[in-house]
Structure 1
Amino acid sequence: MRCSIIIFVLFAITFGRSLSQHCDVDESQHECGGYCYGAVKPVLEYLAILHKRVEAYEANQPADTASKILLIDEKLKTLGRQTAIQEELLNSKIQKLEQQLASVQETISKLKHKVFEPFQKIGSKYYYIEHENKKTWHGALKKCLEMGAQLASLQNENEMKELRSRLKPHQKYWIDLNDLDKEGEFISATTGVKGTFFHWYKGEPNNLANSEHCVDLTFEYAMSDRSCDLTHCYICELSFVD
């Protein structure tokens, strides 16, 4: 807009100069000035109109910009409120799902506990430890089978340490190892193959009186060979790992 006005002004000045050249030198100064003023007057009036339009435009422009910024700001606030509402709803749904999951997990835990009774989880396995009703090794093996389990089959030191805290001092507990078929070759009654983990008490196995062929575990978490006809406590183990 301003560039157009400047060009127009330059045009008006040039036009005015061209008009002044038509004034003869012998004409009076008054007559030449009046003629030139009469010719340029419309141009000046139009320039005044243009100037007012420019001022009006410049006055309105900041207001229009502020109005647009205000509108954008209101839209952003509205979007922010909508986003906050959606986030709150989402958090509420997540909280409800977490509560439902916790409830389901609690129910499963109770069911597992009920299904596995009287077995209890010790480490990664489920055991039943009989502390009172003593049986021979074969009697203990039969009792475990009746319970859908077998005599405990220990696989490593950690399993022995985990069981130790549940055993009574000075008690002996039958486990599944025996060398009934071949002296000195201890087989797992659970797997039917040679045992892979042993933790013998000092001086054991000794096959005392050539009659000790079954293995027990003591509170000191050490193994010994004993006569299979002796009555001891026993440890049953479910046949799967949780």
Structure 2
Amino acid sequence: MLKFATYFSFAFLSLGLYGSVAEGQGEGRSVCLLHDPPNQCGEFCLEALKPMLDHIAFHQKEWIACGTQNETQTKLDKIEDYLLKLQESLEKKEATWKNIIDRLEKQLTDLQEPQSKAKNSVLSFLFQRIGGRLFYIENAIRRTWNESEESCRTMGGHLATIQNNVELTAIVEKLERSTSYWLGVTDVVKEGEFVSVASGKPTSFFKWRSGQPNNLHGNDHCVDIYNGDMYDSECKEPEFYICEALG
């Protein structure tokens, strides 16, 4: 602390001396200008002023750094403002697109309703109500089991899976005698496990002919009905078929 005070005193003295010399110049007296500070002032004088000069230099760096920070903060503020405006713009666009999507979905629903009605109309024309469900009985063209299932899907259904004895009796009354009709039941995935093609689940109702299913020659994997009894038969055989409507 004492050393700093000494340095400060020397600095003050030097500044006072410089001021006196400068004033003397105005009065016509000789002036001592420091053209060569180390020789004219002496190393001791410079050493006394050095701490103050270093202190000023240090603060000059701080001031410069502070100015840089202010510039950086200004840039960050501008970026933040831009991002906020961008977010606001995106939110408005999102709301606009949501409104457009809602309108398109409504229009699609409006278009689907007539198609659904038309489909139901076609189903009611092709299918007939037997018991509590809609069925289509093909009595004109014989197809393989796979072809029959594809035809039923084209009409909006599947090969039929008969659910109970009452339904079986009602359907058999519509069928031609001594004629085979494909049903929508198969054990093609695993022998002996008969599954409904409409639901993908095991079938619970059967009315097998005596000795059936027998998987003759290891090729019988599709179920058909003949004179009211069920058989497992070779899927590639062409037969008439029965479809059920979906739902």
- TM score, norm. by length of structure 2: 0.50
- Equivalent residue letter for 1:239: L
Matched, 1:137 2:145: yes
List, as ranges, runs of 4+ consecutive aligned residues in structure 1 with deviation greater than 6 Å.
Answer: none
CA distance in 2, matches of 1:226, 1:143: 19
224 and 123 in structure 1: CA distance in 2 versus 1, 3 angstrom threshold:
same
CA distance in 2, matches of 1:180, 1:239: 22
Please give the root-mean-square deviation of Cα atoms over the aligned residues, in Å. Answer: 1.6
CA distance in 2, matches of 1:115, 1:123: 16
CA distance in 1, matches of 2:225, 2:123: 27
115 and 186 in structure 1: CA distance in 2 versus 1, 3 angstrom threshold:
closer
Pick aligned residue for 1:224 from 227, 231, 238: 231
- CA offsets, 1:166-223, max 9 Å, x none? 00011100011100011111011111111111110111000001000000011x2110
115 and 227 in structure 1: CA distance in 2 versus 1, 3 angstrom threshold:
closer
Aligned residues of 2:123 and 2:245 also touching (Cα < 8 A)? no
209 and 239 in structure 1: CA distance in 2 versus 1, 3 angstrom threshold:
same
- Equivalent residue letter for 2:239: H
Aligned residues between the structures: 129
Matched, 1:234 2:238: no
Q: How does 1:1-242 map to 2 (within 5 A)?
A: 116-218=124-226, 220-240=227-247
Shift of 1:239: 1.5
115 and 230 in structure 1: CA distance in 2 versus 1, 3 angstrom threshold:
closer
CA distance in 2, matches of 1:120, 1:198: 23
Shift of 1:113: 6.8
- CA offsets, 1:34-71, max 9 Å, x none? xxxxxxxxxxxxxxxxxxxxxxxxxxxxxxxxxxxxxx
Three-state SS of the structure 2 residue aligned to 1:201 is: coil
Aligned-pair identity (%): 37
- CA offsets, 1:83-120, max 9 Å, x none? xxxxxxxxxxxxxxxxxxxxxxxxxxxxx776511111
- TM score, norm. by length of structure 1: 0.51
115 and 144 in structure 1: CA distance in 2 versus 1, 3 angstrom threshold:
closer
182 and 117 in structure 1: CA distance in 2 versus 1, 3 angstrom threshold:
same
- Equivalent residue letter for 1:157: N
